Amino acid sequence: MHIPDNYLSPSTCATLGVTMIPIWKWASTKVKKEMSRQKMPLLGICTAFVFLIMMFNIPLPGGTTGHAVGATLAAILLGPYSAVIAVTIALAIQALFFGDGGILALGVNCFNMAFIMPFVAFYIFKFVKENFPSERGQYVGAFLAGYISLNVAALLTAIEFGIQPMLFTDNVGLPLYSPYGLNIAIPAMMIPHLLVAGILEGLVTAGVYAYVKKLSPEIIYKGTSKKIKPLYALIVSLVILSPLGVLATGTAWGEWAPEELKEFIGFIPKGMIEGFNFSAPIPDYAISGVSEIIAYIFSALVGVGLIFTLIKLLSKSQFKNNPEKVK
């Protein structure tokens, strides 16, 4: 679901990037009002969880791969506004340092995964929890929120891909960017997400929600945590297990390298040849001369380290002039 650069037109990227600006401002303002010093570590943990869970690729029908996003869990534990910030930070670090998702397409990816997904998930979970307040109802709500929100985000991604050949062609009628129309993009994205990836997102959300509720329930009920060590243990476990994400072979639909796309359609669209090119320091979480497993763990550590450093800086900035805002 990480759209690379040059698969969407610059105007498409600009439109959704500009759309995200007031959303980021809105979310930032809400988080500044709602966030306490005690909650900041939870924001870091949720951001790290989102970053790491997206490294666990699984095989999907059609020979492609996919992953959970984690935005639903962030929205349930911290609210949708904090989830916007958490997922945005994770996506920005993935794009800037690991080339996972485009730089120009960052606004589009944030629109799908950092805005639409958390808000859809939050209100589905809230509706189910209010109407079925039992413990089982909460778990079902967490699963449904994850399953439905991921598929809504996947559908938007498919539409963004699918409208490209309708709107942008060269002087001989060939597509300039993503070559697949809505008739191919929608089923190609939705079938694996409906059958596998959505279920994974639901299970991960419900499973970790149950883990948090058992070990540190005050996070859910009060938004604070006295037993935060088990949550750090979860992050450490995900870092250690991250190489499981390289077991799945194949490329996620829509995330091919231009050369891979040429094998499928016989040419590379002109917009990709002449498009924006950015070289990430650790592209695809791989390091030349280093084993894939070690490189993946190193990338996970680098990503988590960047996230906690950034959250600490944000915390210092947030509470520098407001030290009394502890709870």
φ, ψ (nearest 5 deg) of residue 171: -70, -10
**Which residue, chain included where needed, has tokens 């969407």?**
8
Tokens of 315: 């915390």
**What is the Cα–Cα distance from 149 to 202, expressed in whole angstroms?**
9
Per residue in 204-251, pLDDT tens? 999 999 999 888 777 776 656 567 888 899 999 999 999 998 887 778
CA–chain centroid gap for 129, Å, is 24
pLDDT at res. 118:
98
**What is the Cα–Cα distance from 81 to 147, expressed in whole angstroms?**
20
**What is the Cα–Cα distance from 87 to 326, expressed in whole angstroms?**
24
The whole-chain average pLDDT of the chain stands at 92
Residue 128 pLDDT > 60: yes
Residue 5 lies in a domain: no
Residue 78 lies in a domain: yes
Residue 91 lies in a domain: yes
Total domain count, the chain: 1
CATH, residue 146: 1.10.1760.20
pLDDT at res. 40:
86
Per residue in 80-101, pLDDT tens? 999 999 999 999 999 999 999 9
pLDDT at res. 321:
63
Residue 318 pLDDT > 80: no
The range of the structural domain enclosing residue 140 comes to 10-325
Biggest CA-to-CA distance, the chain: 65
The DSSP code sequence of 173-184 is: S-BSS----HHH
CB 158 within 8 A of CB 181: no
Please tell me the pTM assigned to this model. 0.93
Lowest mean pLDDT among 57-61, 68-72, 156-160, 216-220: 216-220
CA–chain centroid gap for 260, Å, is 24
Residue 283 pLDDT > 60: yes
pLDDT at res. 34:
80
Residue 1 lies in a domain: no
Per residue in 100-116, pLDDT tens? 999 999 999 999 999 99
CB 199 within 8 A of CB 147: yes
